[in-house]
Structure 1
């Protein structure tokens, strides 16, 4: 689903923790929700968005109830860091299965750009900022043991508008308006992987790390008593798997070793079987 909306109401309130995520899909029947931000390049040295909060709406449009705040740390983001396929991970959280109707961004007052002249210009937003930037979602359904991703594609060139009557020497705060245009791409993410570890007595923790994005995604689970493990709801990509024993080898036997296996490819709607790994 691709939707494009002009965003004229930017009340800034709370978001963007860009840290890596940890998830144990093997022990939960919940869904996982990801929100990512990427950008189309623009003619600026830097575009800093003051993002304060992200919310999703679980009920029909117009119903004031049903808004749920997602877990974030408010911060400024230079969206030009996330072009040419790179994306910023804003949200990665367990979430109850069900339908999402809207997503809302709340921005703070401290957004700005640095122009090609090296000067900083504050970004002004139009009136009506209290309600935030709302984007409708069509058929956005989270299912058990699957990951659902909302990719917010921010168009810098169309979102930052220069005032027609601004001239060099005028107040820098009055040069640009921020009228965001964001394309929303919503998709189910349900790739998976499975494998076995020996000896099973090592009871290792298994990390699947996707380093092709910034920051890296990290998903985790533990092998069961038979040495088997599996992870679901993984985005497509190439992963490194790390195995960390959580028990010590019996006296007189070789110590269990930490191992890493690279180049594990995960494809959406498929489960990749990993070759058996020995920790001896």
Structure 2
């Protein structure tokens, strides 16, 4: 198995692609597909999304019709997942080394169900999220990626919760209009660190003046922000307003391609 890692950029959807060394033997027409889901935070207690399937469409598909030529790949465990649990480097593995054919994948489609809801702070019951029929039929992502034999293509979907939930006027209803973020790992790096104390909610945001990415720390204070383009970032560590702790800003954090920038332990006071 060849050893290469990379990610693909898409404007509407975050999808990262990496090629990892595995124990599989090279095959003339077979590659391997992995997909995991991560979360960019939103101001909610929980956001539940029903994920049912993943489909792909190759460039050489004979039919030119938009909804034809799709191949169902399936996922490991279809079901409803709380996106806000996917923080601190935690991800949901949708596919793991699934065999696919070589060729150019034109699009990927994430199939959602209609069992989607959110829990707002102070509420006892989740609120149903209206899912437009277009979203139920699949979130289409332009990929145009050449799939070569013997590689494992690892796609990372980063669900931007805050941008994906839209209130429908003054009706009190909420719509789910998924927005995701993408980056090419061969041109990107990862930022990690740990925030103390660990008994409060903390959001960590990294911005280079053009792109912004963020996450929450986990129960042990750890965080990870992948898919950052090379350059200098301003990192904002923002504890919950009720904690009484101050926001900490760290300037000029360097991110290098293919490397991990470790901020170490950040102590809030």
TM-score when normalising by structure 1: 0.53
Cα distance in 2 for partners of 1:114, 1:74 equals: 21
Cα distance in 2 for partners of 1:129, 1:162 equals: 16
Distance change in 2, residues 1:128/1:147 (3 Å): closer
SS at match of 1:101: strand
Q: Which residue is 1:80 aligned to? A: 84
Distance change in 2, residues 1:102/1:118 (3 Å): same
Q: Which residue is 1:132 aligned to? A: 138
Corresponding position: 1:97 with 2:102? yes
Contact 1:45 1:118 (C-alpha < 8 Å) held by counterparts:
no
Q: Which residue is 1:5 aligned to? A: 12
Q: Which residue is 1:44 aligned to? A: 44
Query: What is the RMSD of the two structures over their aligned residues, measured on CA atoms?
Result: 2.8
Q: How does 1:239-278 map to 2 (within 5 A)?
A: none
Any idea what the Cα deviations from partners look like across 1:92-126, whole Å, max 9, x if unmatched? 20212221111112211111111112331010023
Q: Which residue is 2:155 aligned to? A: 150
| Deviation for aligned residue 1:149 | 1.7
Distance change in 2, residues 1:58/1:187 (3 Å): farther
Cα distance in 1 for partners of 2:173, 2:66 equals: 37
Please say which structure displays the higher CA radius of gyration: 1
- The answer for unaligned runs of 5 or more in structure 2 is 1-7, 15-21, 187-256, 259-269
Q: Which residue is 1:123 aligned to? A: 129
SS at match of 2:25: helix
Contact 1:155 1:180 (C-alpha < 8 Å) held by counterparts:
yes
Q: Which residue is 1:113 aligned to? A: 118
Cα distance in 2 for partners of 1:130, 1:42 equals: 22
Cα distance in 2 for partners of 1:47, 1:101 equals: 30
| Deviation for aligned residue 1:78 | 0.9
Distance change in 2, residues 1:34/1:187 (3 Å): farther
SS at match of 1:157: helix
Contact 1:100 1:137 (C-alpha < 8 Å) held by counterparts:
yes
TM-score when normalising by structure 2: 0.55
Distance change in 2, residues 1:25/1:64 (3 Å): same
Cα distance in 1 for partners of 2:177, 2:119 equals: 17
Cα distance in 1 for partners of 2:68, 2:78 equals: 23
- The answer for unaligned runs of 5 or more in structure 1 is 8-22, 167-173, 189-267, 270-280
| Deviation for aligned residue 1:83 | 2.1
Contact 2:52 2:74 (C-alpha < 8 Å) held by counterparts:
no
